[in-house]
Structure 1
Amino acid sequence: MTTKLAVVGCGLMGGGIALDAARHGLDVRVYDARPESAADLRQRAAAVYARWVKNERMTQAAAETALARITPTATLAELGGADLIVEAIFEDLALKRGLMAALARHLGANTVVATNTSALRVGDIAEDVSFADRILGLHYFSPAEVSPLVEVVRAACTSEATVARALAFLRETRRTPLPCADSPGFAINRFFCPYYNEAVRIVEDELATPSQVDAVARKRLGAAAGPLTVLNLIGPRVASRAMENLSSLGPFYAATPELLVRGDRNAPYTIADDARLPGNADTIEDRLVAALAVPALELRAEGVADPEETDHGAVMALRFERGPYALIRSYPPSRIRAAITASCTRHGHPIPCLDSLDRR
């Protein structure tokens, strides 16, 4: 089966999903509330395909064929005949609910709708929607045209048939699915957002510069890029909103004031790649590891996603050397216990069950 795809929202994520699907042989209709964005997507796709041709990832003929498969549309009504619609608009619950209500007037009887939300619960987006059984989450990671991992989020309302059709689409586009329960942040962002939030807090506490924090992450945790570098790539505004969407999980998940300010201004950090480790590198390392460990242990206790698949997903999506569970196992249990206890005490957050630290 070849999926007829539609994408709503032609920004960084939606555009990447569309141009990658076209590369894999799918016809893609794209819509954006700003008509110029849909038109601009073809220019972006042409530039990406040209780079891939130069790098010998695709032929010139394949690039021209893929570009022809992307069709901008002027109205939502033109998307109704799609097999799958991927929503990739701004991370705002009211906006996403409004879009679902608008789509309801145009959908075919069998159209599946996927939200690319990074932290909002899919069930909240699907609330009071007549086609809720055909809604699920397909959370891509940036850049969407390159990153192979996609979290597949099944809400309580999502049918088995909907999940099966989404998985078929991911196979067509050669993506690796990570099944997740419908919990805020799902699997990857549940620990990744607190990780960069803690990096911001360390800078806010004047314990290290942004460059030094990233150096600790690279040299001690084995991250390909430090948390603040990745925050810059995501965009401070998007990163701030994603962290805010986790606040219902408890005080550990509260966005630091500095992140909120940077989010409002969309102001990135200035980071030097050649920074040396600071004298308090052990302290910074423990704080970063705890920021990964607390949510990872909670994820396992809640059964949100398989720990082994989550570790694999972190390596694929975030370019971590080791996922959070493997990272935890690499430290002496006493050090991890102390780091987690200190972090939870500092934030006034319940300490997760630590019994698994002794089972290696």
Structure 2
Amino acid sequence: MTSAGIVISELTVGYGGPPVLDQVGLRVRPGGTTAVLGPSGSGKTTLLRALAGFVRPTGGRIEVDGKVLTSGQTMIAPERRGIGYVRQDGALFPHLDVTGNVLFGLPRAERRRATQVAPLLELVGLSPDLARRRPDQLSGGQQQRVALARALAREPAVVLLDEPFSSLDTALRAATREATLTALAERGATTILVTHDQAEALSFADQVAVMFDGKFVQIGSPADVYGSPATPQVGSFLGDTMLLPGQGAGPIVDCELGTLTLAEPATGDVLVMIRPEQLVLEEPSTALTARVVSVAYHGPDAIVRLSLSNSTSRLVARVPGHRVPQPDDLVGLAVPHAVLAFPSHRRPADGTEGAPTGPDWRNGRVGTASAGSDS
């Protein structure tokens, strides 16, 4: 199989009302894996359907391996695009066994070659002994792997995954995701995964594209979008955050946690973003002391909720499971690594809430020229 790069330019899709996708742009390198992450209703599945040829865009361009699939009057039929599609429910045919389901997408002349089913099942981590079972005799994870084997049977250059693991329990989801990644890498397929699961997106892909309201607000490596989110909204969506008011002074910022180092310079009123793993608990002899409000123990780690004296802020720290304090303990706090700061929005004079929820909130981090690109 030859890997194919994907180039999406100014793609707009609507269903008679406001656009679901609004001039979206995305590039996926040949053989790369991109996770499209966003809340429900943000346009993620519509993007996949447009790529697969199931919906006609109202504007924009889609290219795969340099071939124009959608542009103006050009609209290549789904079956001629060389794209495999795995839906959330797997969509297996209940009256066909595993062999019949895997071979269903092939031309009729090739469906009789049942000998090719065993290698495909092994590729997705299934035993060939399952070839004669029907879908209702398989677990949820097995059904999803059969659906992937069916998508790979035609040797597509591109595979689209529409939340294929969301219905599985935690352990089964991890195993199925790992088997899927291995199979896709073995075939060298270029892959786009749609998900609203942050951990899944960060662990599955080499590129993450964060979508809100039909637009990409940030595209980058998993480490970049998590560690350097373009906006507070992106940061909060990708994981727990604390946003504290502060006063920037170049490379440092003063806030309720003291004077902290900034990852990028800032001046004036800012919101300081701190993730729970950045907040370190120490002996209460340090300058900043907090009281433990509650502890949620998870085994490998624990979430500790804290309160500062003379402050309404509630802080959250993630600590190793073997270093868990008890409720009402006094602990010292430190933030040893650089933090991010975003422009602050003061409360308006009329007393209405001035929380950063409008378009200005997406103007990027302090010290950043612009927000995350839509392309």
Is TM more than 0.5 here?
no
Based on CA coordinates, which of the two structures has the bigger radius of gyration?
A: 2
Higher relative contact order (CA 8 A, sep 6+): 2
Normalized per residue, which structure has more strand? 2
Structure 1 length-normalised TM: 0.31
